[in-house]
Amino acid sequence: MVLVLSWIVSVFVFLYSPVSSAQNIGVQIIGEFPYVYAAPDFDAPVIANLKPGSDVQVSKQQFGIGFHRILVGAGKIGYISSSEVRLLNAPIPVAANKKKNSGSFDNQDTIDEKKSKKKESTKNIVFSRFQGLIYEAQNYVEDTMAKTRGANLGFIGYRVVGMNTIFSGEMSTDFTIMMHSGAPKYYEDITRVSATGGVLNTHFTFDTIVPVSHNFMASYGFGPMMRYSHYEVSMKSAAGFGNQSYVLDDMTLGVLFRLGVGLRIGIISFRSDIKYYIESKQYASMNLSTLFEF
């Protein structure tokens, strides 16, 4: 009952109070990035992404620097930039002629307007996708040689994150494949002979995005993972002559939880996460990625 009353009040406020039906105008979504923000500011969190070509009602009154108020979802009020809409049955606006004198600006353009236009020309980090390098430090744990053993291992690999990557549509995913070269130190500590090999780790998560600003976000996700390890371990023979070699291969499937943040500077995004792996054993990790928008 409380939720229903809240929804009715929100709709009533939108339609009759600050922006009555007489103060509404019908518009069509035409912009490339038709995002609805929680406040009339490009740095405000994104609360919706409208479909280009759809017809909606917005307030005739503008807020901030060229924002219209709009009702989205179940009584949720947001703001959309006037550059993303046009009046119904109105001609599609033609781009303004270039200034004859490069470097000169119209006197009516303020510094704040220029900053807003620059932000508007870039897609919000929530709807962007990135790929690049990742370095991850794992508190690696496994069952081997009749005991549970652990070591700190460093992995390096490739990472791709965002929408329209593994799956098409507005579903954000995070895919990573990385490798550690060499065997954990505990093999050498036990056998007194250096061991070789490597560990391959690949995983992806289905992500939930928490927008913070136009270029900053938090996210968390859950998904499957696979680990494959191959070691060549040597031990001194019982006779005392030479070494006896063993090949240790292991592959496990599991899941992981991920919690992280992302910051975009230009076309570069820096991301850092904490992960918790659950497979034959459980262990945690931290990583840092340098990614490029594509």
pLDDT tens sequence across 151-199: 999 999 999 999 888 887 778 999 999 999 999 999 888 888 889 999 9
Instruction: For 17-62, write each residue's pLDDT tens digit.
Output: 444 445 788 888 887 778 898 888 888 888 888 888 888 888 888 8
Phi, psi of 21 (to 5 degrees): -60, -30
β pairing state of 85-87 and 55-63: unpaired
**Residue 43 has what pLDDT?**
81
Specify whether 141 is located in the same domain as 275.
yes
Structure token digits, residue 222: 């859950």
* Alpha-carbon gap, residue 25 to 206, rounded angstroms: 38
C-beta separation of 69 from 59 below 8 A: yes
User: At 66, is the pLDDT very low, low, confident or very high (cuts 50, 70, 90)?
Assistant: confident
Specify whether 133 is located in the same domain as 116.
no
Is the predicted pLDDT of residue 108 greater than 90, yes or no? no
- Max alpha carbon distance in the chain (Å)? 97
Phi, psi of 276 (to 5 degrees): -130, 115
Specify whether 279 is located in the same domain as 186.
yes
β-pair partners for 147? 144
Specify whether 137 is located in the same domain as 280.
yes
Overall number of domains in the chain: 2
Specify whether 224 is located in the same domain as 245.
yes
Q: Which residue range forms the structural domain that includes residue 140?
A: 128-293
Specify whether 70 is located in the same domain as 136.
no
C-beta separation of 148 from 281 below 8 A: yes
Positive/negative CA dihedral, 38, 43, 45, 50 = positive
Q: What is the mean pLDDT of residues 62-77?
A: 83
Residue 209: CATH number of its domain: 2.40.160.20
Confidence (pTM):
0.63
Specify whether 116 is located in the same domain as 136.
no
Specify whether 145 is located in the same domain as 106.
no
Specify whether 155 is located in the same domain as 216.
yes
Mean pLDDT for the chain?
A: 82
**Residue 74 has what pLDDT?**
66
**Residue 241 has what pLDDT?**
64
Specify whether 271 is located in the same domain as 179.
yes
